Amino acid sequence: MDRDEIVFEQYYEDVYRFLRALTRDRDLAEELTQETFLRAIRSVDTYRGEGEFRVWLCSIAKNLFYSQMKKQKKSIPVAEEDFPEGENQEKSLIDRITDRETAMEIYRALHRLRDPYKEVFALRVFGELSFREIGVLFEKSEHWACVTYHRARQMILREVRGGESDEKRV
């Protein structure tokens, strides 16, 4: 196994899980994961070694995701398995639609946030990065990452609950 294959094996699941959570689309997550590793291989010389390699890969993945969303300007796709068949179909469907609507409200609120709030929240929730890792990624402190995440969370909660957040303008 060469170096690139070892890196792929070691970090594939982390990057894929991160992109799967962002895209909510298996095929797109797979495509972006592959592209992430291709870009990483091409630009490995730019990796400064200051932070964890996984964090660097997630930043590449995040940028690819944002580029993809700008290109497509499309919403989150709805999978067929979200609409089950059977005895409890109606109740299950109503529950899933309610959950889907809540998730969509949160997703919309998240994407209305300004950076760095949007990025920090996504990296923490979807990328499962620690505050230390997020701080390294942004060249800031762990405390900064924690505060930024909690502010983003509050902004999202206020928006989903119908209140306006003054912090959006920060």
Judged against a pLDDT cut of 70, whether residue 4 lies above it is answered with yes
Distance of CA 104 to the CA centre of its chain: 14
Task: Report the length, in residues, of the chain.
Answer: 170
- Predicted confidence at residue 163, as pLDDT, reads 52
CB 129 within 8 A of CB 137: yes
CB 57 within 8 A of CB 15: yes
- Predicted confidence at residue 92, as pLDDT, reads 52
DSSP state of 114: P
Identity (one letter) of the amino acid at 120?
V
Higher pLDDT, 67 or 84: 67
Q: Which has the minimum average pLDDT: 60-74, 80-94, 119-133, 139-153?
A: 80-94
Domain with CATH 1.10.1740.10 in the chain: 1-74
Confidence label for 166 from pLDDT (cuts 50, 70 and 90): very low
Cβ-based neighbours of 51, under 8 Å, separated by 6 or more: 133, 136, 137
Judged against a pLDDT cut of 60, whether residue 104 lies above it is answered with yes
Q: Residue 132 and residue 135: Cα distance in Å, rounded?
A: 5
Confidence label for 97 from pLDDT (cuts 50, 70 and 90): low
**Regarding the domain delimited by 88-170, which CATH topology (the fold level of the hierarchy) does it fall under?**
Arc Repressor Mutant, subunit A (1.10.10)
- Predicted confidence at residue 2, as pLDDT, reads 80
**Regarding the domain delimited by 1-74, which CATH topology (the fold level of the hierarchy) does it fall under?**
Rna Polymerase Sigma Factor; Chain: A (1.10.1740)
| Alpha-helical regions (H) of 24-141 | 26-42, 53-72, 89-112, 117-125, 131-137
Q: Residue 10 and residue 3: Cα distance in Å, rounded?
A: 11
> What average pLDDT does the structure give for the chain?
78
